[in-house]
Chains A and B, each alone.
Chain A
Amino acid sequence: MGVARIGHVRLRVLDLEPAVHHYETVLGMTVTHRDEGGDVYLKAWDEWDKYSVILTEADRAGLDHVAYKVAADADLDEFRGRITSRGVDVTDLAAGALHGVGRALRFTLPAGQDMVLFADKEFVGTDVGFLNPEPWPEGVRGCAVKWLDHCLLMCELNPEAGVNTVDATSQFLQDALDFRLVEQVMAGPDHSVRAAAFLTVTSTPHDIALVGGPTSGFHHAGFFLESWEDVLRAADVLARHKVKVDVTPQRHGITRGYTTYFFDPSGNRNETFGGTGYYATPDRPVTTWTEDQLGPAIFYHTGEVLPSFVSVYT
């Protein structure tokens, strides 16, 4: 019983084919399906379900929804009750409403983004398979990301007006969906305002991140790489393809991850995220960062928060 892991993001893009080129050639994902509505579905080489990214052309960039996979179909019934009992409306999606996915639940988080829960998605296998596999496949393009790792949602935060959707969304994910709080940033004079929250359902430091901002939105989708060397090589790939880079390779204090941030052609931020940081087991104490240490918490090497990092999102 429970949420097992992140499943996919459906991203709105302004122009479809440049976006497909970016996720295929730069990130190194593979197109696995195009539907009659024009949406394009992609997976990374070490993912076994049919897709982790859906690209849909729209008149604005940003996140359409983020989906998490639950352990078993019956879990959807229990989560449906736990979500609605908290006053959140749930839309039932029939099997096939999302391509290759069984029945699913769609609802809106307190910060305003839509989340989907599903149990089954069409299995296609990884590029190396599960029988006597090689450790990695030959011929993967670009950054050769391994899998979609997490997403970061910007959440409206205005403490003076009593609005804190970081806290509300974090509490909802913890209470209704059994996400565990792993790290947090506490702001305000007595460190009483939760300005960021990093939550997990697995043993990685974050399966979802929530950061406060003037408006809610989509900050980034993070894609996993193993090592510093992989993250540095990925930055070379970005430069080679003249991708707009937001932050060159750095370490995060939060999660201890190795990072590079960049934008897809419609301005949706991507991250190549490396390292396992630590094991976020259920008994691990919550790590707290105070607002005055926000610089090294986010960018450990420079110790300074780039203005664009908190002001630029879709």
Chain B
Amino acid sequence: MSGRGSHVVTLAGTGATFACPGDQVVLKAALAAGQRAIPSGCHGGGCGVCRVRVLAGPYRVGRMSRAHVTEADEAAGFTLACKTFPEGALVVGLAPSRT
């Protein structure tokens, strides 16, 4: 799948799902679907409260604060939901920032 279609995002733990278009970030799609499990903060990649870990599926990210997602974190699937675009079906788990 390219990034243009809509993808299913599954929240690990609850198993709740919602649809997220490929040009939409996961956090906004979750909020639009009434899913409040992922904390909503600055929506700019700066505050880190929406930190999650992608457990499965392809995605791309925008710029995020390295105070909350280091390069090693990013390589391990940690990301900020406000800066994460799905490129296929995703499974994500909450991963609150260490700071």
A residues adjacent to B (C-beta < 8 A): 14-15, 59-62, 215, 244, 246, 263-269, 308, 311-314
Q: Once the chains are docked, how many angstroms separate the CA of A51 from the CA of B11?
A: 45
A59 to B47, CA, bound (A): 13
A267-B63 contact given A14-B46, A62-B46, A308-B40, CB 8 Å threshold: no
Contact A244 B44 (CB under 8 A): yes
Are A265 and B99 in contact (CB-based, < 8 A)? no
Q: Which of B39, B65, B66, B99 contacts A267 (CB 8 A)?
A: B65
Interface residues of B: mostly helix, strand, loop or mixed?
loop
Q: Bound state CA distance, A99 and B68, in angstroms?
A: 30
Asked if B44 contacts A59 (CB within 8 A), the reply is no
Of the A-B pairs whose beta carbons lie under 8 Å apart in the complex, a sample of 27, sorted by A's number, is A14-B44, A14-B46, A14-B63, A14-B64, A14-B65, A15-B63, A59-B66, A60-B65, A60-B66, A60-B68, A61-B47, A61-B65, A62-B46, A244-B42, A244-B43, A246-B42, A263-B44, A264-B44, A266-B46, A266-B63, A267-B42, A267-B45, A267-B47, A268-B42, A308-B40, A313-B47, A314-B65
Residues from chain A with Cβ under 8 Å of B66 in the complex: 59-60
Q: Is the CB of A314 within 8 A of B63?
A: no
Q: Are A267 and B46 touching (Cβ within 8 A)?
A: yes
A206 to B: closest C-beta gap in Å: 22
B49 touches A312 (CB 8 A): yes
Interface residue ranges of B24-56 to A (CB < 8 Å): 39-47, 49
Check B76 for interface membership: any CB of A closer than 8 A: no
Interface of A is mostly: loop
Distance from B66 Cβ to chain A, minimum over Cβ atoms (Å): 4
How long is the Cα–Cα vector from A15 to B39 in the complex, in angstroms? 23
CB distance from B27 to the nearest CB of A (A): 10
Is the Cβ of A312 less than 8 Å from the Cβ of B41? yes
- With the chains together, A214 CA to B44 CA distance in Å? 21
Known: A61-B47, A215-B99, A267-B47. A312 touches B65 (CB 8 A): no
- Which residues does chain A contribute within 8 Å of B99, judged by CB atoms? 215
Q: Report A-chain residues with C-beta under 8 Å of the C-beta of B64.
A: 14
Determine the distance from Cα of A265 to Cα of B45 in the docked complex, in whole angstroms. Answer: 8
- Total interface residues on B, CB under 8 Å, equals 17
A312-B99 Cα distance, complex, nearest whole Å: 12
A187 vs B99: C-alpha distance in the bound complex, in angstroms? 24
Which chain A positions have C-beta within 8 A of B49? 308, 311-312
Q: Decide if A312 touches B42 in the complex (CB within 8 Å).
A: yes
Chain B proximity of A19: nearest CB distance (Å): 9
User: What separation, in Å, do the CA atoms of A78 and B99 have in the docked complex?
Assistant: 37
Q: Is the CB of A267 within 8 A of B67?
A: no
Leading 8 A-B pairs by shortest Cβ distance: A267-B46, A267-B42, A61-B46, A267-B44, A312-B41, A244-B43, A14-B63, A60-B65
B44 in contact with A61 (CB, 8 Å): yes
A94 to chain B, nearest CB (A): 30
* Alpha-carbon distance between A312 and B44 when the two chains are bound, in angstroms: 11
A97 to chain B, nearest CB (A): 26
Please give the distance in Å from A42's CB to the nearest CB on chain B: 18
Q: A266-B45, A267-B47, A313-B47 are in contact. Are A62 and B40 (CB under 8 A)?
A: no
Distance from A21 Cβ to chain B, minimum over Cβ atoms (Å): 13
Residue among B44, B63, B65, B68 with most chain A CB within 10 A = B44
Q: How far is the CB of A268 from chain B (nearest CB, A)?
A: 6
Name the B residues within 8 Å of A59 (CB-CB): 65-66
Instruction: Say yes or no: A62 contacts B44, CB within 8 Å.
Output: no
Chain A residue, CB-CB nearest to B42? A267
Q: Which of A246, A264, A267 has the most CB of B within 10 A?
A: A267
| List of A residues within 8 angstroms of B43 by Cβ | 244, 263, 267
